[in-house]
Structure 1
Amino acid sequence: MKKLVVYLGLLVSLLSCIWVFQNLDWKALWRALSEVHPFWLLVTVIVFYAGIYVRALRWSLLFPEDKPVSSNHLFKPIMVGFAFNNILPSGRAGEFMRAIYVGKKQKTGVPIAFGTIVTERVFDGVTLIALFIVSMAFIPPIDPGMSVEFGGFVIRGSMLAPLIQKVVVGSSIMICGLGLLMFRKLRIKLLKFLRKIPIPESMHQSIEDGLEGIVRGFQAIKQPRRFLWITFYSVLTWVINAIAAQTLGWGFDGITMTLMQAIALVVIESLAVMIPAAPGYWGIYEAGMIFGFAVLNLHPSREVALAYALVMHLIFFLPTTVLGLWYAGAASLKPPSDKTMESIEHGVMK
């Protein structure tokens, strides 16, 4: 099954690359790349990596009080995690590398470290949903005449507008549902209802483990003040990412992007890279960005959208990969085996 996902990811990246680069005006692409303003490029790099430091601040608050870890010790493992997600096909190895790095270096234990990462992902998911809802209320309506063609399928603005409205409503219900999951009796009733759905036992178990992971993640944070700080840093992390997206847009001629549009673009891109893809998200990252540009009407040129995507992708990919591998080598870390990852996961879930 895991090999199938890897092969599927490679196929998705290949198809995405074909779509991204077909019928491309290479001269226009090169012109857009060569005209990027160096000042805004530098500002974007600074802003983006400031966001990683904020991630470290948030992560430090997720550790138990009897296993405290300073944020100063968490920047390196975050970079290690990014690096291994960039070069390995599983898309998950980086999270385990983070847990192993912190668990051994900071003496927290690997399962505890991995548990904080699970909680972090829950906060990221809820934050992205909330920011998507907010951004949709402030960005201009989608042009009904807008269209994006992919593999013979045409997605039109007239189709997306009602779909996005439904997603906003569904996302709002989902956030309320996550809050209700904190009540044990309601959670038990939900699990009993899900058990009646005729799906394989393995899927039932995955759903139950996922729900328990979400609940444990929130329940582990018992202090309201700490919970509020984690929520604040979660929002700040993604807003900083959006600011980085906006400042890079200022470096290109003709790109006009409000902060709310930048937030929406970051959400669209984050959803795109959740699709199984080749290491480093190559192809799917660029496809998601081009799609986001079209939906948000950020620039009429596909070549400018691709140039923007390539620059932003490299800003993330190159420094995190180089520094992350350097830190991993200095710590004598190597990628975990599938068995190791399963044992770590089992230790957290059970």
Structure 2
Amino acid sequence: MTVEGVYLLEQLQTPALVVSRGQVRFANSAAQGLLGAHIIGQDVRIAIRDPKAVAAILSDTGGLAQVTGLSTGGSVWEVDCRALSPTDRLVSLYDLSERVSVAKSHADFVANASHELRTPLANVLGYVETLLNPKAGGDETVRNRFLGTIRHEAQRMQALIGDLMSLSRIEAVKHEVPSDQIDLVALAHEVVGEFRSGGQVSVTANCTDAVIAGDRGQLSQVLRNLIDNALKYGKPGGAVMVSVEAASTGWVLVSVQDEGEGIPPEHLPRITERFYRADTSRSRAAGGTGLGLSIVKHIVERHRGRFDVESRLGAGTTASLMLPLKEV
């Protein structure tokens, strides 16, 4: 291999190997970082322990193969082998992990959304068909009960569609850094005012204002979602406390705390996943879509912040977000 060829392959960020007569003769820095420097001089069947990839590399014409677990357990790589001469092969390795992961996430998302819509839709159709029966439809008590169920299921679908649209809008602007000046203390009082009818929600703050660069509509949605969750899953009639604490470190902490039963620890790592529910039957009965905390997480990440949920069984749950204060 020429000096110019070695130089060019070294400039690539893509892992690349030159295999001659079944042995690895050259590996650029990216390939050594992926497979280890010891692969130079090794039999390619040892360097890349995958039968399909080895078959493509050792074939007369080269070819493509997909390899799993080359870098980490769940990684997916494409091995692209080109014949340079009867004995020499150029092998390029392309990381497909993110593409495969995104495709799987989209497929799972569509499957979950379809399932979530299918259940209430089936209930609506079932009750409508029953009401079309003169015996059931003619009984006012039965009719009113069934119509109430139909309305509840229709509202579930409406809420789910609303949350799906919210996620879509959030993802469309996730790479755009928000720039409006938002006072989180004033915003917290404003949003809590929407829940004051029950007298359960209160606000405390360690400062008169806490200004950040943000999207007002999205931050309002975060607070509504967290307060709504605290009211739904907290202790019936229990207090919900919203606090805003600005720190000298340049961050502001916003917390929403309830006095509910708490969340079992095994569920905490997954509660921001789309459609994940710690208590499926209770969530659906309360009108939850399984998307609320996922929406919160996406919005907080867009604002360059961090979102966390702490909970102890019997001692309630605290959802908190840390956001950078606007530099003066």
Normalized against structure 2, the TM-score is what? 0.24
Normalized per residue, the structure richer in strand is 2
Larger Rg: 2
Normalized against structure 1, the TM-score is what? 0.23
